[in-house]
Each structure stands twice: as structure tokens, then as C-alpha cells.
Amino acid sequence: MRAEDRVRRVRSLLGSVRAEGRTALTAPEGRVLAEAYGIAVPGEELAADVDEAVAAAARFGGPVVLKVVSPDILHKTEAGGVVVGVEGAAEVRAAFRRIVGNARAYDAGARVDGVLVQELLPAGQELIVGAVTDPAFGKVVAFGLGGVLVEELRDVTFRLAPVRADEALSMLDSIRSARILRGVRGRPGVDRWAVAEQIRRVSELIADFPEIAEVDLNPVIATAGGAVAADIRVILAERQPVPRRTYTREEILASMRRLMQPRAVAVIGASNEPGKIGNSVMRNLVDGGFAGDIHPVNPRADDILGRKAYRSVTDVPGEVDVAVFAIPARFVAGALEEVGRKGVPNAVLIPSGFAETGEHGLQAEIVAIAERHGVRLLGPNIYGYYSTWQDLCATFCTPYDVKGGVALTSQSGGIGMAVLGFARTTRTGVSAIVGLGNKADLDEDDLLTWFGEDPHTECVAMHLEDLKDGRAFVAAARATVPKKPVVVLKAGRTAAGARAAGSHTGALAGDDAVYDDILRQAGVIRAPGLNDMLEYARALPVLPAPRGDNVVIVTGAGGSGVLLSDAVTDHGLSLMEIPPDLDAAFRRFIPPFGAAGNPVDITGGEPPSTYEATIRLGLADPRVHALVLGYWHTVVTPPMVFAELTARLVAEFRERGVEKPVVASLAGDVEVEEACRYLFERGVVAYPYTTERPVAVLGAKYRWARAAGLLGGGS
């Protein structure tokens, strides 16, 4: 069927379903959709009475399935409305009467349109193929093992709809029980292309019709010879989402550049009174050393912190790039009008008192004003933002001046404060810290688009609770990931579990599963917790990218070696199988009872020269791609001696153009803490009292390198 024909046919059917006030399609209606989109279903006929059913069964020949057809009965099996494997006139007759009786008993008021007579499908692997409308990502397609087990084990994977054929095929390998589909223990595998086609076509169907909320093919029976949907369920949306205002990439970059690299900043509500937000913001801008113009705006002051104050932003001479609002919520709309008239492209709305306190009307009002004037809004309800390389601290917190490669954003102010404290105590090198708050306008996708281009930013880390436009975020992530890692802490992982769902796929799509799959597909590194996000943010820009999969552990403590090996496996890394010549080379330096192989266990009592010789081997051999060091505090090799020799070796090889990620776990007395700081500052990611963290960071770097296409084997 031609694309426009099938769309017309389906739309007309959906229109009539809507006209009847229904949201669930009947089985025959589902079949019309399946046929229009080439979704394979078994042969079937609708029988209005017993005789028609007998005749239909006779035409199909073999055993058949009978199913009651009623717009009022969604769960046919539970209503006793399905009989499988009926053959011959007498059986068909009896079965027809039984299921119609069951249906009446289940719901006396249910309309019964007849009984569906279907070809009985062969035995095969039960699968589920479905599609749902996700609040963040819109139409997504799902695939998993079917039957009772899948609902218990939730072995299912999601993609943005529509999918290409190769994406659909990749879904078969994305479930935990993927091997079953390839055939195990003498059982044949399934027809992978046929399954992938069912996925692709369902994804097209839901993508073509915004009004379709959910589709379930459950089960799809897959054999070595094909894949057929035994049942199709389609549910329509109660209402359509309101389209969101969008900006082009160029528009986003233009306003973001002026936000993050401003030449002139106005502070609306600047104040001389200590304790006021307008005073803190002014002082942080001045004390932070911002080299551009700082214009206080306050109708009741002549000068603020020694700078001329203006009655209105419209009075400020010259262009203004950013207006920082430090006034109560109720005055924002008026001031924003003036900001708009002045042609300021960015308003940073620190005040709270909008949607987060139930004042949705006030928030809608300022969004409307901003859109009318083309002003982009950051916030409201935020601590402000830092653009470190501009010495810009447009916040009421405290200045931060350690310039570096990570851009951090947080939806919540509390998390923003944790970001600041952590960064300060670890001296994390930062390019920006941005509060997003209510996200009335500027969103993670806007910021990611900018940070992807920003040459100062080498890594982006974002705390978020939701995405207003998941697809825009995925697009920004896909554009950024080939250049730099994107780390996401998605809060509220478990809150979605209670989402009401009308289909099996819908039920499986709760519990954070959609976010998890789709963020991973976009190449995003998902941090399991706040502290992980902060450590990844701190460490990823420090490590060079790995050029291959071979990880070697060199350890002075056998016990650390075992734990580091556990961590390597936990984080999906590969312990290199050491080639015989390299093994022999390591053995020359370690005691006879030490263990070469991997981990390379140099044993505990060794002098600095043994650490140096073995680390040097690992750095020098091009077949080794990353080093994990396990240090054991001894009097023979004290912590700072180890730190200095390791940093020196890494620097020496870096000068020769050899850059490999090196991480270290230091086991010892408190002196190891100083050694770790020393190493971190010199490009070696080192932690005391933990074997997990250095490997977790290396694992995150590898996940990024795979997503960025720097390593073979795809993501």
C-alpha cells in the first residue's frame, strides 16, 4: 500500500473510533491497522454466529483459535473469551457457545460483535512488540520476551520511534536474554529480520499517528521461519500534547553565546544592603573579577558598590547581554517588559514564587512576555550561574574560580549547592555551573547545544528530574557525544513506577526503563547517584581517551588486585590477556613468587624501581590501552614516592605523545590522601581507601569512548 493511502485509511478508521467516543480499538480494527502497515498477523475471519464460525474454521483447515469480539472487553483471556486449538465442526460449535457465555458472565452489559476465528499459530518463541507515548520522549517502540516471564522480569528495551531496520535489529541484542533469540542448546533461533520488521512497522505506525497512544503486539510468535502477531491492541490518546516553541540550533547558539560570554550584565534589583540577593549578586560579579560591564538597576539608588545605578534597564547605555533578576516574583513581569524593550537576549530569573509554589499563571505570564520580545529565560527559581572562564559569578552563592573543563547544570538549587561545595573541596576545574530551576524556557537541550560547541568545556554533567523535550535532548546529546562526554544524573528514577498504563508495553515502560535505554542510545553516561556524577565530572576531563579495550592492572597488593579485577568486570571493562612477550617482560621485574598475568602483582615489599619499571612497560607497550594501579603503602615505597614516580612517568610519555588513561587506588595510611591529590592534579585519577571508584571513572570514560566511536564494537 502506498504511504499516503495507508495513512488515509488508518486516519479514517481512527476518526470513526473517536466519533464513537472510544479509545480502544477492537481486534478487527487493529487488524486493519496491521494490514495497512504490513504487520504480519494470522489469517482470521469474524463470525457473527455459530455457523459462520464453523465455515470459517473449515476454510482455514487446521486447528483454530476463537476469541470473543467486544468493544467493552479489553482483557479477553481474563473474561474467558479465548479458546485455543479447536478443530472440527463440533468443537468449534461448543467453543463458540462457551466463550460467548463466559463474556456475558464477565460483563452482562458488554456488547458482543461476534467471535473471531483465527489460524492457530505454530509453537515458537513468544515476544512482545509494542509502542507507547512517553511524556518526555514521545513515541517510543518497545521489544522484549513475551509470555508471563517478561512481565515478571521486565526484559524489554526501548527506542525512539520510528526506527530504521538496523536499529530494530539491534533491539534483539539489547535484552538480557538476547542469546535465546539466537538459539541455545540445540533450539533454533528466531527469524531475526522478521521480528525486526514487526518492530519497525509498529514504530512507523505510532510515529505516523500522534493520536495513537499505545500499541501492543502481544504475543508475537517467532519461529525460524517468521514472526506473526497473535494479537494487536491499539489505544488512542485522551488528548494531544501542546506543541512546544522551538528554536533553531543557530538561534540557540547565538543567545547562549551572549549568556555565557557576555560583555555587559545588568542586575535588576541590585542593592547596597548586605543580605539582599541583589547585593550578593552584585558583589559576586564584582569580586569574581568579571571584566565586562556590570550595570546595577535600582530606581531608588544612585550608585551601588561604586557603580552608577539606573532607574530602568532601558536607561543603560549600549547593549546588554544578560539581565540578572534579583527582585520579588511579583515585580518580574514589569521588569521583563523593559528588558524585552531594551533588546536584552537573556533574562536570568533568580526569584522563586512561580510554578514551584503553585503560581503557574505568573510563570505563564512571564513566558509570554519573553516570547513576545525574543528574550530567553533561565529559571526562574535558581541560584544563578557561573561562567568560570569569563570570571562571571552571576549568583547569590559564593564565587568560584577554579577554571577547568567541566560544565555542570542542576535542576534543583540544593543539588547546585552540593555541586559548588564538592567542586570547591576537590578543586574541580569548572567551565560553568548553571541552575535550571523551573525551566520555564531554557532547558538542558539548549545548554547542551552550547556546551557541545564551547571550546572550554570538555565534559558536561547534568542533574535533571525530567526532560521537557526528550527528543531535543537526544539530538543535542548525539551532536555533543562525539566531541565530549555527557554525564546525566536522572533523579526520580523510581517515581514513574506508578504510571497508569492501558497496555502491557505501557506497564513495562514505567520504572525509568525508557529514560535508561534512550539516554544510553544517545551515548549519555548515566551516573547512578549524585556523588558518582560529581566524581565523573571531576575526573573525566582529567583522563585522556582510551584508544583500545586492553586494561592492565599493576598492583603492589594482591588483595587490591582481586578487588580491582572485580571492579573491572563490574564496569564492563576487559582485562587484557597479556601476550607472552609482555608477560616475560613484566616477570623480569617482579619477584619469582609475584604473579604476572593480569593483574600484574609486583608484591608488597617492592622498591619504587619495581613500580616504575612495570608502569613504564604498561605505558610503553602500544597493545596496552589503559592502566589501573593498585598501590600499597610500605616504608620501602612511601605514598608520595609512588605518586611522584607515577606522575613523572605519565608526563614523560605524554611529552612523547603517548596518552593513556591511568587510574590508581591507594591503600595506606592517611598520607595516601595527599598522594592522591598530587596525582589527580597531574592527570592520574587516584583515590584513597577505594578500589571501586577509580575503575568506575575509567568505566565511564570507556562508555563515552565507545559511544563517541573511538573504539571498535559500537556502544
Give the chain's end-to-end CA distance (angstroms, integer).
36
Secondary structure (3-state) at 90: helix
> Quick check: helix, strand or coil at residue 198?
helix
Contact 132, 506 (CB under 8 A): yes
- Measured distance CA(207)–CA(324) in Å, rounded: 41
Which three cell numbers mark 69?
469480539
Phi-psi region of 546 (alpha: psi -120 to 50; beta: other; left: phi over 0): beta
- Number of residues in contact with its own copies under rule CB under 8 A: 86
Side chain identity, residue 107? D
Q: What is the CA angle 53-55-56, rounded to 5?
A: 65
Applying CB under 8 A, among 26, 411, 480, 598 the residue interacting with its own copies is 411
**Contact with its own copies (CB under 8 A): which of 102, 177, 272, 715?**
177
Site string for its own copies, 339-378 (x = CB under 8 A): -------------x---xxx--------------------
**Residue 71 vs 591, nearer CB to its own copies:** 591
The residue among 420 and 698 lying less far from its own copies, judged by its C-beta, is 420
Q: Which is nearer to its own copies, 345 or 630 (CB)?
A: 630
Location of C-alpha cell 490518546 = 237
Binding to its own copies, residues 305-344 (CB under 8 A): none
Q: Is 146:130 a contact under the CB 8 Å cutoff?
A: no
At its nearest, how many Å lie between its own copies and the CB of residue 436? 10
Nearer Cβ to its own copies (152/238): 152
Cell 569574581: give the residue.
288
Length of the chain: 715
Q: Which of residues 426-485 bind its own copies (CB under 8 A)?
A: 463, 465
Residues 93-112 that bind its own copies (CB under 8 A): none
608 belongs to the binding site for its own copies (CB under 8 A): no
- Distance, in Å, from the CA atom of 581 to the CA atom of 156, rounded to the nearest integer, reads 44
Selected from 122, 135, 188, 528, the binder of its own copies by CB under 8 A is 528
The CB-of-590 to its own copies minimum distance in angstroms stands at 12
Residues in 126-155 that interact with its own copies by CB under 8 A: 145, 148-149, 151-153, 155
Q: Which of 422, 435, 426, 447 is nearest to 396 (CA)?
A: 435
Q: Is 108 buried (19+), middle (13-18) or exposed (0-12) by CB count in 10 A? A: exposed
Looking at the Cβ atoms of 345 and 561, the one nearer to its own copies is: 561
Give the Å distances, CA to CA, from 568 to 317, 341, 389, 534: 59, 57, 36, 20
Distance from the Cα of residue 412 to its chain's centroid = 18
Assigned C-alpha cell, 381: 527559581
CB of 713 to its own copies, least distance (A): 21
Smallest gap from residue 250 Cβ to its own copies (A): 32
To its own copies, the closest distance from the beta carbon of 48 in angstroms equals 27
Q: How far is the CB of 669 from its own copies (least distance, A)?
A: 4
CB closer to its own copies, 453 vs 671: 671
The interface with its own copies within residues 151-170 (CB under 8 A) comprises 151-153, 155
Q: Annotate each residue in 567-606 with x if it binds its own copies (CB under 8 A) or - if it does not, as one string.
A: x-xx--------------------xxx----------xx-
CB of 263 closer than 8 Å to CB of 320: no
Query: What is the Cα–Cα distance from 143 to 220, expressed in whole angstroms?
Result: 10
Angle, helices 192-208 vs 3-19, to 10°: value is: 60
In the list 560, 598, 610, 614, the residue contacting its own copies (rule: CB under 8 A) is 560
Q: Which is nearer to its own copies, 82 or 206 (CB)?
A: 82
Q: Which of 460, 488, 444 is nearest to 252 (CA)?
A: 444
Specify the stretch interacting with its own copies by CB under 8 A; choose among 192-200, 295-303, 331-339, 408-416: 408-416
Rule CB under 8 A: say whether 182 interacts with its own copies: no
Please identify which residue in 40, 418, 501, 710 interacts with its own copies, judged by CB under 8 A: 418
Q: How many angstroms separate the CA atoms of 480 and 451, rounded?
A: 8
Choices 231-239, 319-327, 407-415, 647-655 (CB under 8 A): range interacting with its own copies? 407-415
- Options 484, 633, 660, 703; binder of its own copies; rule CB under 8 A: 633
Smallest separation (angstroms) from its own copies to the CB of 565: 7
User: Sign of torsion, CA 207 208 214 220?
Assistant: negative
Triad 107, 113, 118: Cα angle to 5°: 105
Nearer of residues 113 and 673 to its own copies, judged by Cβ: 673
CB of 463 to its own copies, least distance (A): 7
Among 8, 11, 59, 179, binds its own copies (CB under 8 A): 179
* Vertex 659: Cα angle to 667 and 462 (nearest 5): 75
689 belongs to the binding site for its own copies (CB under 8 A): yes
Task: Give min distance, CB of 464 to its own copies, in A.
Answer: 10
Of 420, 474, 596, 698, the residue at the interface with its own copies (CB under 8 A) is 420
Q: Which of residues 53-92 bind its own copies (CB under 8 A)?
A: 77-78
Distance between CA atoms of residues 547 and 555, nearest Å:
22
Q: Which is nearer to its own copies, 690 or 715 (CB)?
A: 690
Look up residue 383 and give its amino acid.
Y
CA dist 369 and 375 (Å) reads 8
The region of 206-214, 293-301, 615-623, 691-699 touching its own copies under the rule CB under 8 A is 691-699
Q: Does residue 399 touch its own copies according to CB under 8 A?
A: no
Is 224 a binding residue for its own copies by CB under 8 A? The answer is no
CA gap 555, 44 in Å, rounded: 67
For residue 649, give Cα distances in angstroms to 456, 619, 627, 682.
27, 8, 12, 11
DSSP designation for 599: S
The single residue among 99, 624, 664, 667 that binds its own copies, judged by CB under 8 A, is 667
Cβ contacts of 418 within 8 Å, gap of 6 or more: 530, 534
* Beta carbon of residue 566, minimum distance to its own copies (angstroms, whole number): 5
Among 114, 144, 262, 413, binds its own copies (CB under 8 A): 413
Binding residue (CB under 8 A) for its own copies from 422, 586, 702, 704: 422
Q: Which is nearer to its own copies, 67 or 633 (CB)?
A: 633
